[in-house]
Chain A
Amino acid sequence: MKILGFLLLVSGWAITLTAVALLAQDVPRAAFILAGVGVEIVGLVLVIRAHPVRRGEHD
């Protein structure tokens, strides 16, 4: 789940970059940039959920 989360983080960034590079109109560009941020948030949630499993690992 952690790897998937990090992949989603990078994918969200790629969507953002692609939107900046390919879309010229303001509204679609803003929508896709925000969609990329949304994908990143999903990835961040997955990474966060993957880490509490390690809680107490060193106890």
Chain B
Amino acid sequence: MPASSPTLSDTGAVLCAVLILLVPLAGAGLALINTGLGRSRSAAHMMTASLCVVSVAAIAYCACGFAFQGFAGLPAHVVMIGGKPWSWLGRGPIFMRHMTLGASPASLATLLGMFSAGLAALIPLGAGADRWRLGACSLSTALLAGLTYPLFAHWSWGGGWLAQLGANYGLGQGFVDGGGAGAIQAVGGLTALAMAWILGARRGKYAHDGMPSAIPGHNAVYVVFGCVLALVGWCGLNSAGAILFSGTDAGAVVRVAMNSLLSAASAALTAALVTHTRFGKPDASLTANGWIGGLAASSGACAFALPVEAIAIGIIAGLLVPVAVEWFELRMSVDDPGGSISAHAMGGLWGVLSVGIFASMSPHAIGAAGEPVRAGQWLAQVVGIATLIGFMLPLTYGLNWALDRVYPQRVPAEGERQGMDLYELGAGAYPEFLTHGDEFTER
């Protein structure tokens, strides 16, 4: 990872800006998936919550998120350990004051970071569906977009200590995460796990003997259409991330988009095969989760993996996601209606590791002959995974636990009985579906 800011031609900057503007489609896709996999009586609440968390994320990221995240070459808090610099936190001004917003790489990274923070904030919503209060998920998003996401993003994208593991300690190119498999997917997915633990299961999900009951999603069409939207957004996210954070040239966009699609496609087909083998028929929601898991996994190595490697990454993600969904629900008693933990946390962590396994070329030599990745790349990726599980998970759990003490995050039992739409918004998403008793009485 480069310690200094990358340089972009005018064409490259315009292309990068256009790619970044596709990223909100990934957010729209996730919002539709979360809504479709939840109950119909919480559908309007989920879409409203999605809009609210994206709004809070944008403002929180502007207020302090980018200041903490920073960018390669910008000021940062650095501690010297054993004579080596460890950059822990960005040192930018709050509310992006004194920053010239234009076509510079730092400006583009700011815009991408703002959209990415919103995307990361949408992930826990899927795990908290049908029981997470609107105000609480907005406050939790402020913590995510203002602190936890920017912290890891600085370490991996902002010239932080993880990115410098190669330069300082000879661990390959340092931690590589071009599209945000760690910074967006794993951070969002681990926050989803923390929220599922803090909120507890939905009422009626688990019997007293611990056996879970199936609460199917209410609209498979939303879910599948969300997957298609997510693909477009992911192509933009992975491509822009590769240009800004992995130092690839703009011409690598074709390769990145192709790898993203191949990974998602092979993951969805694998998930369909796995569920067909296990249940006799392919499962729509698990196939969709497999697709998202493949996209999340692709974010790690998409910039420099070969197409066949992208397929392999997707196949493993497609095996991992359905197994993880079942494991979380049956073994860990984690109620995750949207499958966010399995698709984003497990897919993202696998995507991070896949860089160390499948990195056949240097991320700085895309399109050229390519130099072999220096030894130790896998170790840099393992250090990144250890940081995600060993530091980010306790941090996000602790922050949300403290928030829950001050402002209870779970809706009261009456809210779950009525549905989040009626209880929190006062109106449902599908009013014409209501049966009014007085319409059927004889006059």
A-side residues, CB < 8 A to B, are: 6, 9-10, 12-14, 16, 20-22, 26, 29-30, 33-34, 36-37, 40, 43-44, 48, 51-52, 54-59
Contacts and interface: CB of A to CB of B under 8 A. Distances in A.
A58 B390 contact: no
Interface of B: 81-82, 84, 165, 169, 171, 197, 200-201, 203-204, 206, 208, 210, 332-334, 375-376, 379, 382-383, 385-387, 389-391, 393-394, 397-398, 410, 413
B388 to A, nearest CB: 9
B237 to A, nearest CB: 27
Contacts of A6: 394, 397-398
Given A6-B398, A56-B208, 9 more contacts: A9-B391, A13-B391, A26-B375, A29-B379, A33-B379, A36-B390, A52-B332, A55-B200, A59-B208
Q: Considering residues A48, A51, A54, A55, which has the most beta carbons from chain B within 10 angstroms of its beta carbon?
A: A55
Given A9-B389, A40-B386, A52 B210 contact: yes
B80 to A, nearest CB: 11
Nearest to A55: B333
Contacts of B81: 21
B200 A58 contact: yes
Contacts of A37: 382, 385-386
Contact of B390 (A16, A20, A21): A16
Given A12-B390, A58-B200, A51 B333 contact: yes
Contacts of B394: 6, 9-10
Nearest to A43: B390
Contacts of A59: 203-204, 206, 208
Given A37-B385, A58-B410, A21 B204 contact: no
Nearest to A16: B386
Contact of A9 (B210, B376, B393): B393
B128 to A, nearest CB: 13
Given A21-B81, A51-B197, A33 B383 contact: yes
A48 B194 CA distance: 11
A44 B389 contact: yes
Q: Considering residues B203, B387, B391, B410, which has the most beta carbons from chain A within 10 angstroms of its beta carbon?
A: B391
5 contacts: A6-B398, A20-B169, A26-B376, A40-B390, A55-B201
Contacts of A54: 197, 200
A34 B382 contact: yes
A55 B201 CA distance: 7
A31 to B, nearest CB: 11
